[in-house]
Structure 1
Amino acid sequence: MTFFSKRDLYFQLFENHQIVELTQFVYFKDHNKETFEFVLDAAEKISTNHLYPLLIEMDRNEPQLINGKIKVHIGMKDIIRRFGEDGWINATFSYEEGGQQLPNVVHQAAGFIFQAANYSASVFPFLTTGAANLIRNFGSRELIERFTPNMYSGKWQGTMALTEPDAGSSLSDLSTTAFPTDNQGIYKIKGQKIYISCGDHDACENIIHLMLARIEGAPLGTKGISLFVVPQKRVPSCKDNDVLTQGIYHKMGYKGAPIAHLMMGTNDSCEGYLVGEPNKGLTYMFQMMNEARVGVGMNACAIGTAAYYASLAYAKERPQGRKLTDKDPSMPQVPIIEHADVKRMLLFQKSVTEGALSLLLYCSKLSDLIHVKNQQEKEDLSLLLDLLTPIAKTYPSEMGCLSTSAAVQVLGGAGYTTDFPVEQYYREARIHPIHEGTTGIHGMDLLGRKVLIKEGKALKLLLGEINKTLEEAYSIPSLLEKGKQLGFYLSVVQKTFGLLIKKSSTNTEAYLADATLFLEIMGIIVISWQWLKQGIVAKKALDENKDPRGFYMGKIMCLRYFFEYELVKVDGLSKRLNSDDQVTIEMKKEWF
């Protein structure tokens, strides 16, 4: 049973990203490499003993809505409580709040282990982390004291309630309304929300929704949206708060975590408590959403990783055929991993997942540095993280669909059956290009906003970081050509971006029409950069005769694969982005 590689995770954290450097800062000074390893060992133990054993069972026996309450797998109650008691939910928070001041990058690495073991089960506690984080950052002292302790302990579930039937990703059109009452800060909430992850279930005593709504009379659009705490049961009375579960969505994957349709205020008695100031709800919620977007990328990467190791194990054991040079039918068959095309599919999975993991951990480390650096450095790091967030969310999500498909293909017909877990991973991967903003939305966010902020400063910062890696690669003879290759394609993307910018001033629709392709090309460049970084570390380890040499050689081979098979896709994408043919704009609906 292998659903992730501890060796690779340690390589990423301690050799590639050198996260022990964080312990020089006061906030993290009580930690060291040993405490980080202890945390990761604990995550592996919980995953192996409690999460992974329920992976298939939770998929086969999905939650059901019975008499107005969603029933989830009986094992979730113990898992959620365990996460609370062991301090996982608030591990990154300060000592004063009962947290461990654990770096986010270590917390994300532990989350990666949980998600690889059982994505559905891992969702429950970390949704609560995000919801509690909003309350502690923007809520009053009263709200913090009333709600967060039981959220930290795992007694209460936290959610993010944004989406509505007629609004979807267009949050400016949401219609859930908050009506003022005689009690300051308390509003009557009326409306409905859909697709609310863990929006109702019987594994916790209460569900605490962080909900977007428009105060009666507030401005239209996003400027009139406020944020509210809306508990399923009132606190401390435990009385019903008129939050009804109208339905449950049955999904193609990710079945163990319930997705609810909620109705608020059917009996005009749903109370919500204002978080922060009126009309600033979307600003507050974006904090959780941006954190969640990197988390979605990690979820996708974890599922892809589990699928990779399942297909790798099968490929090593499944005999079929002989090498093309062997014509003697009396000779024994060879394991399919001996065939070049199977190795191609395995290299594809390995390069996608390990490249994405490197980027995601890099982003997580940036968030830790933002927490402890001085103001000027904080601003630059924040710009860089903002730019990388849509890439870190989208690349693992989109490529996770392809890499889990490759895992199914490695198994052939067996991969299409429920006898092996790869078909489940394939289904579970598909949600991530949709979760927390679709790929199209992130493409427009990157090209329409992120690359333009402060006259393109964020993009300049990223180019500066990539060029540092290129300079280091140029000094290593065996990596010189790879450095030149990435440098060439980086210049291609820069020229392409320059041509796109010219369109932005005259034709905004044409500028953004292929924003998704620009996001794709940036994903390839950034992951290539992460592979060159890994290659540099691996080459130095090989020169120093570090063990295991096979591990480091695997890194070098993956670097070669990614540059030969994936980086070259920039050619076709840049050609399309440079074209003046606007077929998607000119196509009319009646011609379909």
Structure 2
Amino acid sequence: MTTSLRSTLDFLLYDWLQTETLNARERFADHSRETFDAVLDTCDRIAREKYAPFNRTVDTQEPHFDGERVTLPQATQDAYDAYAASGMLSAAQDYDIGGMQLPYTVDAAANAFFAVASISISSSLLSVGNANLLMVHGTDVQKQVFALNEFSGRFSGTMCLSEPQAGSSLSDVATRAVPDEAPSVAPDGLVPWDQDPLGPRYRLTGHKMWISSGEHDLSENIVHLVLAKIPGPDGKLVPGTRGISLFIVPKKLVDTEGQLTGVRNDVALAGLNHKLGWRGTTNTLLNFGEGKYPVQGRAGAVGYLVGQPGKGLACMFHMMNEARIGIGMAATMLGLAGYYASLDYAKNRPQGRLMGASGKDAGQPQVRIIEHADVKRMLLAQKSYGEGALALNLFCARLVDEQHTGQPEAADEARLLLEVLTPIAKSWPSEFCLEANSLAIQIHGGYGYTRDFPVEQYWRDNRLNMIHEGTHGIQAADLLGRKVLMENGRGMQLLAARMQATMAQAAAVPELAAYAAQLGDALQQVGAATQAAWATGNPAEALANAVPYMQAFGHTVLAWVWLDVALATLRVDATLSVAASAGRMGAARYFYHYELPKIAAWLNVVNGRDMTCAALSEEAF
């Protein structure tokens, strides 16, 4: 499995994205192909030793809560410790805080090994995103006390957005935060609430649902980032999202040096959610301020304001967008894990005989199922989905590097391209790499539906990703309702220009010219559909078919990615193995022959602003 993944990563990083050219930039000047490869080698080894052997273990030995403490398999602790010791939690950070100043592109590629080995164990995503948010929006003390301890692995992190009564509707957040006017618990004496070195101090009350890694003993402390509302003078909460603020709520209170004070914060685990997949990660309902662990004899969880009051959602989007790309990568790697497993099965499972001119000869030995055309179809579909999604996610990671280290104009273009592509990077792998997992089960036949083989677990684990970090519908509404329109459509124009540049190159290559023309037609269809959706200016009509629009948009983006990858494949063909080159070109051909033609049907309802679904009365169901 990891041999195939490594060769794919090497090609995408070095031959396609030209990642080594980043070393010419000051931030990455100490790096080389050798240092990048050393990071990939280390992560590959840790993933093979500490993650992959225990993927089934954490699926069957679910987290257990005895009313006070959550118990996880020892393998989870061992994996967490190995990951923290590797330095990967802070790999992209500055040297002066213990980081490696690794390009995010390489960071993302290295983390792919953990995700393909066991996504259920590989849940450090939130800790890194939590710390990254604090590095941007936190005070110097908050960075030092909370973020740096997350980067070291001493602390871990969560994001607490959803509530039982509100789900994904953040406008309806009801968790309250009031100034903590009681004496501080800090060991250096009494500190007024608005002068606490850790940030203005509040008391929070409320409930948060679906909190991944919300309770465990893997780290010394858990840093919850919590969305809550500060009541107005009348004691009422401001409706909508403009009244939301962001707070650091540690599981255990700390001093200004980051040392535990011995005081447990009023954050209580109400229960574990027992999920279809991702069973190795605790998923929790947390009660804030219910009084189970009163601080100074008073209910209310102690929290420290991040940023300005009422600006919490803008801060949280820093973590949410990072998490969305991370979820896209998780879905991608699960899709590839299923592909590798079903490819191995297809190469070794004899069944049936090929049809000859006179039919099947039962006297002949059975053939391996990979020799059947339909099995090859299913394998090619998985390869095109998984490797295409991996290329897309690494391209997005490359945009992050460009945004942070590129020249001003290039950095601004990267920012806008990321805005447009983030809904696709999250949603497209979540849908189509899940379909890849379904095809992996199909290739295994009845065995695929049993726990004797890993593909049923990959499907269960992947099914969550269409919900994770904003559902499919939310991503689609964000894409069509905001991202393609923002800044007068400039992000969409930049993406189209990138596609047209690839098409121009491919048009001069006989093997790819027809695909360049096909992509041009698809791009024109998406552009026309965007205008048609908004022709009346009525959001209800425009967004009624946002998901089919997103599916067509995503397929067009993936077709562009595959065309660009095909160009790179032909460019370096002499240095690749014949099999690797044939495989990538075959996957590109499959996508253009079998997948891209689907967009016409999706866009048909968008162009007509079809209201079949939106207008149907509740009673009709």
TM-score > 0.5, shorter chain as reference: yes
TM-score by length of 1: 0.97
Name the CA distance, whole Å, in 1 between partners of 2:577 and 2:371: 21
**CA contact 1:81–1:155 (8 Å) conserved in 2:** no
Residue deviations 1:115-169 (CA, integer Å, cap 9, x gap): 000001111x222111111222211122222223332222222111111011211
Q: What's 2:91 paired with?
A: 91
TM-score by length of 2: 0.93
Offset at residue 376 of structure 1 (A): 2.9
Q: In the superposition, relative to structure 1, how do residues 423 and 238 fare at CA in structure 2: closer, same or farther (>3 Å)? A: same
Task: Give the alignment partner of residue 194 of structure 1, picking from 209, 220, 223.
Answer: 209
Q: What's 1:499 paired with?
A: 532
Q: What's 1:181 paired with?
A: 180
**CA contact 2:542–2:609 (8 Å) conserved in 1:** no
Q: What's 2:351 paired with?
A: 320
SS in structure 2 of the partner of residue 222 of structure 1: coil
SS in structure 1 of the partner of residue 465 of structure 2: coil
Amino acid aligned to 1:321: G
Percent identity, aligned pairs only, is 42
Matched, 1:551 2:584: no
Name the CA distance, whole Å, in 2 between partners of 1:2 and 1:465: 31
**CA contact 2:163–2:207 (8 Å) conserved in 1:** yes
Q: What's 1:510 paired with?
A: 541
Task: Give the alignment partner of residue 330 of structure 2, picking from 282, 299, 321.
Answer: 299
Q: What's 1:255 paired with?
A: 279
Name the CA distance, whole Å, in 1 between partners of 2:111 and 2:230: 36
- Structure 1: unaligned runs, 5 residues or longer: none
**CA contact 1:127–1:160 (8 Å) conserved in 2:** yes
- Structure 2: unaligned runs, 5 residues or longer: 182-192, 195-199, 255-259, 292-298
**CA contact 2:2–2:44 (8 Å) conserved in 1:** no
**CA contact 1:74–1:203 (8 Å) conserved in 2:** no
Name the CA distance, whole Å, in 2 between partners of 1:384 and 1:364: 11
Offset at residue 4 of structure 1 (A): 5.1
Q: What's 2:474 paired with?
A: 441
What is the aligned residue count? 587
SS in structure 2 of the partner of residue 191 of structure 1: strand
Q: What's 2:555 paired with?
A: 524
**CA contact 1:253–1:424 (8 Å) conserved in 2:** yes
Name the CA distance, whole Å, in 2 between partners of 1:211 and 1:229: 6
Q: What's 2:613 paired with?
A: 584
Q: What's 2:448 paired with?
A: 415
Name the CA distance, whole Å, in 1 between partners of 2:564 and 2:609: 36
Name the CA distance, whole Å, in 2 between partners of 1:547 and 1:136: 41
Residue deviations 1:302-326 (CA, integer Å, cap 9, x gap): 0000000000000000001111116
Q: What's 1:63 paired with?
A: 63
SS in structure 1 of the partner of residue 572 of structure 2: helix
**CA contact 1:3–1:309 (8 Å) conserved in 2:** no
Mean Cα deviation higher: 163-172 or 319-328:
319-328
Name the CA distance, whole Å, in 2 between partners of 1:174 and 1:126: 24
Amino acid aligned to 1:305: L
Offset at residue 537 of structure 1 (A): 1.2
**CA contact 1:541–1:552 (8 Å) conserved in 2:** no
Matched, 1:234 2:253: yes
- Superposition map of 1:156-555 within 5 A: 156-182=155-181, 183-184=193-194, 185-217=200-232, 219-235=238-254, 236-267=260-291, 268-325=299-356, 327-503=360-536, 505=537, 507-542=538-573, 545-555=574-584
SS in structure 2 of the partner of residue 477 of structure 1: coil
Amino acid aligned to 2:588: L
Name the CA distance, whole Å, in 1 between partners of 2:499 and 2:213: 39
**CA contact 2:58–2:76 (8 Å) conserved in 1:** no
Amino acid aligned to 2:246: L
* RMSD of equivalent CA atoms: 1.3
Q: What's 1:7 paired with?
A: 7
Name the CA distance, whole Å, in 2 between partners of 1:5 and 1:358: 12
Q: What's 1:155 paired with?
A: 154
**CA contact 1:3–1:116 (8 Å) conserved in 2:** no
Residue deviations 1:392-434 (CA, integer Å, cap 9, x gap): 1000001122110000000000100100000000101100010
Name the CA distance, whole Å, in 2 between partners of 1:256 and 1:4: 26
Name the CA distance, whole Å, in 2 between partners of 1:377 and 1:279: 32
Name the CA distance, whole Å, in 2 between partners of 1:285 and 1:580: 33
SS in structure 2 of the partner of residue 190 of structure 1: strand
Name the CA distance, whole Å, in 1 between partners of 2:601 and 2:451: 37
Q: What's 2:115 paired with?
A: 115
Amino acid aligned to 1:56: R
